[in-house]
Structure 1
Amino acid sequence: MPKKESALNNELIELLQGEKIVSLITTDKDTQKPNLSIVSWLIAYEDGKTIKFALGHKAESAFNIQHNPHLILGVVGAGSCYSINGKGKVSDIIDKTMKYRIVTVEVEEVEDVIFYGGKITQEPDYIKTYDMDLAKKLDEEVYDLLKS
């Protein structure tokens, strides 16, 4: 992938189909300093210009994006590390098993940010440490919302 692109390539679209550890950097609405959080409920759309992710309805990141829509998604995978810059739009509260907000990101720039000569050989992985039945229910619910 060239250094900077205006959309996700097919490999990144395929990678970003949920259950990934993705860094979310927003600007804190009060301090104006960078704020880092992690999201895993996300879907990249085939157009390469749209990503949606879910947050809890009281997530500080949602309030930050409402105040300043510019954000960065940090992705480790597809052999490298990527910075995805875009603008986010936060949904109203969606009341299901839990209360969510969906953030729709308009991708503006994708940059390969791995250091010279570096290549990712193993992607980060995680496990859910809460009730597996609840995890499955929440996952199904969220991905239905993200795909709509």
Structure 2
Amino acid sequence: MAEKQLHELTPEMMEFLQGEKVIFLSTQDHEEGAPTITCISWLLAVTPTKIRFAIDPRSRVIENIAANPRLSLAFIGLESSFAVSGSGSSELNQLDGVTIRMTEVNVDVVGVREIMFYGSKIITEPEFEKTYNLDLANKFDAAVYAALGKA
């Protein structure tokens, strides 16, 4: 299968990337220069060319993006695996309506590639379970997604 690169998210990807998904974020470590991967879930596709996610401001990801804004987001879904490349910028302000401090990162999408190996498809998407107070988790998630959804 020849690799095809898109320059924006498809409508199906937009719908899929509306939160509560396992997303792999790859940045370049600001000290070592090596690639590093972080797993995130607070993410929204805002437009076909913009993705927004929230992360703890103490995360190494923030320093990595400040040093080199190029990043990749990978996800498993829609019967395949995809890599989204882009450039990130962060807002260090607390997200409105969120009780703990979170950093908003905006990603300008420059490329989208299907990265599934040839001759296969995904039959089960990754799932996760929250391991802390479920009522608190639901309240916090709702606040984070409401804040991320604001333009």
TM-score scaled by length of structure 1: 0.95
Partner residue of 1:48? 48
Partner residue of 1:8? 9
Partner residue of 1:66? 66
1:29-40 to 2 correspondences below 5 Å: 29-40=30-41
Partner residue of 1:105? 107
Partner residue of 2:142? 140
Q: What count of residue pairs does the alignment treat as equivalent?
A: 146
What is the CA RMSD across the aligned residues, in angstroms?
Answer: 1.1
1:93 Cα deviation after fit: 3.2
SS in structure 1 at match of 2:102? strand
Partner residue of 1:85? 85
In structure 2, runs of 5+ residues without a counterpart are: none
1:133 Cα deviation after fit: 1.7
**Percent identity between the two aligned chains:** 36
Q: Which portions of structure 1, spanning 4 or more consecutive aligned residues, are displaced by more than 2 angstroms?
A: none
Deviations 1:33-80 (A, max 9, x none): 0010011001002x3101000001101111111111000001100111
Deviations 1:94-126 (A, max 9, x none): 164111001000000000011111111110000
* Residues in 1 aligned to 2:91 and 2:29: alpha-carbon distance in whole angstroms: 19
1:137 Cα deviation after fit: 1.6
Q: Which amino acid aligns with 1:65?
A: I
Contact 1:57-1:93 within 8 A present in 2 as well: no
In structure 1, runs of 5+ residues without a counterpart are: none
Deviates more, 1:63-72 or 1:88-97: 88-97
* Residues in 2 aligned to 1:137 and 1:63: alpha-carbon distance in whole angstroms: 28
TM-score scaled by length of structure 2: 0.93
* Residues in 2 aligned to 1:79 and 1:24: alpha-carbon distance in whole angstroms: 20
SS in structure 2 at match of 1:145? helix
